[in-house]
Each structure stands twice: as structure tokens, then as C-alpha cells.
Amino acid sequence: MTVNKSRGHNSIQAVLLLLTCLQQCQSSPHRHNSEPLLGVFKEITKYSDIAQQIIDLAVYGKAQNRSYERLALFTDTIGNRVSGSKNLDLAIKYMYNALTQDGLENVHLEPVKIPHWVRGKESAVMLQPRNHTLAILGLGSSVGTPPGGIEAEVLVVESFEELKKRASEAKGKIVVYNQPFVSYGETVAYRASGASEAAKVGAVASLIRSVTPFSINSPHTGWQWYQPGVAQIPTACITIEDAQMMGRMARRGQRIVVRLTMGAQTLPDVDSFNTVAEIRGSKHPEQVGCFLRLLRVTAHSVLISFDALHSIPLCCTALCCVTMLCFAGRGVACPVCCNCTSSVIRPHSGKVVLLSGHLDSWDVGQGAMDDGGGAVISWEALSLIKHLGLRPKRTLRAVLWSAEEPGGVGAAQYFQHHKANISNFDLVMESDLGTFRPLGLQFTGNDKARAIMKEVMKLLASINVTSLERNGEGTDINMWMQAGVPGASLHTADQRYFWFHHSDGDTMSFQNPEEMNLCSALWAVVAYVVADLEEMLPR
């Protein structure tokens, strides 16, 4: 077929005009109108009935205990899910199918590259002053030992400062860190960089007291990072009990010898996916929206018809969809959203409230607490809203991250793919500190946004979950908050979290269905109300 040249020329002009408009919309600063906060507060109070409907469904109704049962089935079926493993692949497929079967919208996978570290066989035995088997867990990204292991005398230190003072004693030895637990944020430095600090003074390996305040002879793993230009030595965590025992022996002047064997290795990065599901928004304010139908693509011309709608295409950005029409027309997945395989690109709202947790875990335990619970309540929040037939003005998007444990790898790539649309992200939420009894939220945003969020939290008074603390946190949303997007993290009574964190103890046995009901209700109420307010949160 020959395309009419004038019609083709006009269509191309229309595409260029659309692209210009979209770029202007996306580059314009985030605006919030001058409506007094009292007006917003009044608007929020109108959601009290809807909030109570969500609470009743999650806590007392048909969805009672559903998030717990979903988490139990998921973790019992798949088990742990370390980055790069076949189990993580199975987990992603499981969740994709579950989200689809639940009837959520725009369920799709967004490709990422993630690390693939394998633990291998590992053991540690104290040979002197007596024979004793040490419980260990190698740390992520650690190198292995030679096949016969490493047998060396031990130097016990309690801090990096002590290691520096005793640097002359460290050459050829295994450094054992017996650092006290102060807080996770402070003490985790020993796990993260203990190996490199020990290597700088000539150590041949390092063993690090597990970063936890409580132990029943249980080692806790985690990721560690080698510093550039520093020799890479094997490193693992040991239990509090064994670290303290060797500390006592060292203070008595006893010679300690340990044989360490580790088969750890880092393999090439592998393909993985962030898993995404949505409830599409009913309204798309402040942007040009269109429904694009690909009629013909040739090497020389593009012919597109435009039907005015209050929406934009399905991809992460309207700009992306226009530029990727040729992919859609050939039935090839859009490289960004992986879902535009139809020649007709479906509409959805460009404004987003994002809820999230991560699917990967460590290769011990079940990964129920870290972070199966966070992933499941993000799914459950959308289920609750769908069940009630609610559709907010802006899109609710649940993202289940891949490869958080190696440093937020999947989330960092998602940010790079979507940051051009940063002004469309209303609020980013992450649950990654357990789904225990909720207290409220931790929040990062300006004073006006904080005031609005405090009013939203009052809608949860019936379940006594109204606290709004400062400093939202989460590896997977930090980059958004640093870029100015308001962010919130689930705040729970998490005193026991680091008891089981990254250990064999992270199982369903420490999940409570009633607490998960409350977490799901909180997650759903906050996400829905923020997504449905007339104005986005100010920033």
C-alpha cells in the first residue's frame, strides 16, 4: 500500500507536536496550587468512610488473614530467593501469575541485570586452644578460599580503631571482629567493609561477629563490598557466642588457630525482572493525553491516528510509547515496560503512587520477614482496593523489586528507566523492616506534605496506627527521595527484626496474621487516599 504523502506529512507533524507538548509537561517543575492546607484537610476527612471500609475488609472481613496466607503459600512453595538463583526466577514467575490471576491491571515484568553470587560449601573449625566447630555464613560477594582452605592464627579486635593500632600483628592472620552491637546502621559497617580493612593490614581472611543484638548460636549473612585496589580476602560472619568466646580467649593470652574453607564464587550477572502490577488511575491531570493507534510503519513514514482521551499510553511514559510504536506494531515488547505488544496501546494514568517490597532474599531461612511480607502487603493493598471497586484518580503501582540485597540493584535500574517522569511520581512507599504490629509511617517530604500525611494517618485511628515519624527509609526508594519525591516506609514494632534478619530464623514462624492484616490496611488506606486527592503531595 502506498501512503498518501500529505496525510503522512500531517501525521508526522502531529507526532512532533505531541512530543514537544509531552516534553514540556515532563520538564515543568512540580506545582501545587495555593489552596490552603485547611481545604486539603477537609478533603481528607471525606475519606473516613472509605478508609473504614478498607480496614473492615482487611482486618475483619473476607480478606482477613489473606496476606498471611498468601505469604505462607509463597514462601513454603518457593523458599529462599537469593539474587541470581533459580529460586528467584521461580519467585518472579509465581508472583507474575498470582498478580495476573488476582485480576490486577498492567501486570508485567521490567528487565534488569543482577549479581549472581554462589555460597558453595563452607566450614570453619577452631583447632587451638581446643577443637570447636564454628557456625558461619559467608558474606555476599566474598571470594572463596583455596581448595584446601586457610589455616591461620587469629587476631581478635573489637573495632576498626583497634585493628589500626595492632596492624603490625595482623599480617598472615585471620582477623576476628568482636564488635559490640550498637545499632544496625552503625554496626553494619563491620560486615560491609571488614574484609577490606583487614586486608589492608595483611590479613588472609576475616570473620565478623553477626550484626544482631540477639543470638542462639545463629550466624547472620549479608552483602559486603571490596574496596578498589585492596586485596580481596574471604570473609564470613560468625555467631555472637563464638566471637565473644574467642575474645575471652585472646584476653587470656591464648593462641587461637582456625581453619576456614569457603567455596564462594561470583558468576556473571544474570537477567532478572522487577515485577509490576497496577490499578490504573481514573484521571490524568496536567498532561496531554492521547490514544495512539499504529496504522502503518514504513522506512520512510509513520501514519498515526489520534483519539482524544483523558489518558496516556500504557508504557512508563507517553514519550516512550510514541518512540516505541514501531516495537508495538511488530508485536515486540517495549524495552521499558515490557507490555506493549499490541498494535493498540492501552491508556492509563501517568501519575503514580508506588508501593513496594523486594522479592529476593538471602539463601537461608524462607525470606518471609525480609522481605516477603513487604512484597505481599504491597500486592494485598491493591487487592483490597480492587475488591471494593475503588479506582483512585492516580495510578496505584505495586513494584516487587529484584536484587535488593546486593544493594538495591533492581530498584536502581528502575529509577534510571523512569526518572524522566519523576514529576509524575506522587509518593513512593517501601516496606522492608518487617510486617510486625504497625505503628505508622516514617516519612520524608516538605512541611506541607508532612502536614497532609498527618491528616491521612488520622483515618487509621480505629486501629490505633496514626504515627508519622520523620525520615522515610528503604534501599529501593532512597534515590527517589533524594531527588525530591515524597517517600514513606512502614514503621512497625520491629524490636525482633534483627534477631532473625539474614539468618535461618527468617521463617513464617515469626509472622502474625493479625499484624499483617493491620499492615495491609495501613498500606492500602494511605496509598488510596494519597492517589485520589485532587492535588499531588507538594514538594
Q: What is the pLDDT of residue 335?
A: 36
Residue among 490, 486, 477 nearest 440 (CA):
490
CA distances from 419 to 27, 317, 343 (A): 11, 10, 26
Q: What is the pLDDT of residues 480-539, one digit of tens each?
A: 999 999 999 999 999 999 999 999 999 999 999 999 999 999 999 999 999 999 999 999
Q: Please enumerate in sequence order all residues whose Cβ is within 8 A of that of 29, keeping only pairs 6 or more positions apart, or say none.
A: 423
Topology alike, domains 40-116+269-286+349-532 and 120-263: no
Residue type, 54: I
CA distances from 436 to 371, 385, 490 (A): 12, 22, 10
Residue of 322 and 25 predicted with greater confidence: 25
Q: Please give the Cα distance from 235 to 248 (Å, whole number).
A: 22
The b/e string for 407-420 (b: 16+ C-beta within 10 A; e otherwise) is bbbbbbbbbebbee
Residue among 238, 266, 223 nearest 123 (CA):
238
What is the mean predicted confidence (pLDDT) over 318-347?
A: 35
What percentage of the chain has pLDDT greater than the value 70? 81
Q: What is the pLDDT of residue 347?
A: 38
Torsional sign, CA 51, 46, 387, 78? negative
Given a cut of 70, is residue 86 above it in pLDDT? yes
Active site residue 110: no
Q: Please give the Cα distance from 445 to 37 (Å, whole number).
A: 15
CA distances from 253 to 147, 162, 198, 264, 471 (A): 31, 17, 21, 32, 46
Residue of 377 and 307 predicted with greater confidence: 377
**Cβ–Cβ < 8 Å for 12, 301:** yes
Q: What is the pLDDT of residues 127-166, one digit of tens each?
A: 999 999 999 999 999 999 999 999 999 999 999 999 999 9
What is the mean predicted confidence (pLDDT) over 201-209?
A: 98
Which cell goes with 208?
A: 565478623
What is the mean predicted confidence (pLDDT) over 33-52?
A: 89
231 — phi, psi (to 5°)?
-55, 140
Task: Tell me which of 9-23, 244-258, 453-467 is least confident.
Answer: 9-23
Q: What is the pLDDT of residue 35?
A: 56
- 297 has which bridge partners? 302
What is the mean predicted confidence (pLDDT) over 411-431?
A: 97
Residue of 22 and 296 predicted with greater confidence: 22
pTM value > 0.85: no
How many C-beta atoms lie closer than 10 Å to residue 286's C-beta? 12
Q: What is the pLDDT of residue 391?
A: 97
Q: Which CATH class is domain 40-116+269-286+349-532?
A: alpha beta
- 116 has which bridge partners? 267
What is the mean predicted confidence (pLDDT) over 462-490?
A: 98
Residue among 343, 313, 336, 319 nearest 111 (CA):
336
Given a cut of 50, is residue 363 above it in pLDDT? yes
Q: What is the pLDDT of residue 350?
A: 87
**Domain 120-263, CATH among 3.65.10.10, 3.30.70.100, 1.20.120.550, 3.50.30.30:** 3.50.30.30
Torsion of CA 310, 314, 315, 320, to 10 degrees: -50
**What residue spans define the domains of the chain?**
40-116+269-286+349-532, 120-263, 288-346
Q: Please give the Cα distance from 124 to 201 (Å, whole number).
A: 22
The number of C-alpha atoms within 13 Å of 215 and in the hemisphere containing its C-beta is 22
Give the CA radius of gyration of the chain: 26
Given a cut of 70, is residue 322 above it in pLDDT? no
Q: Please give the Cα distance from 372 to 358 (Å, whole number).
A: 7
Question: Strand, coil or helix: what is 519?
Answer: helix
What DSSP designation does 368 have? I
CA distances from 76 to 149, 175, 368 (A): 35, 38, 9
Position of cell 503514580? 352
Active-site entry in 197, 380, 404, 430 = 404
Q: What is the pLDDT of residues 220-276, one digit of tens each?
A: 999 999 999 999 999 999 999 999 999 999 999 999 999 999 999 999 999 999 999
Given a cut of 80, is residue 333 above it in pLDDT? no
State the average pLDDT for the chain: 86
**Helix 513-532 crosses helix 66-78 at what angle (to 10 degrees)?**
110
Q: What is the pLDDT of residue 302?
A: 28
Residue type, 389: G
235-238 β-sheet, strand order: 132-134, 122-128, 257-262, 150-157, 174-177, 205-209, 235-238, 136-138
Which cell goes with 359?
A: 522479592
- Residue 476, preceding peptide bond in cis (omega within 30° of 0): no
Alpha helices in 117-212 (DSSP H): 160-165, 184-200
- Residue 129, preceding peptide bond in cis (omega within 30° of 0): yes
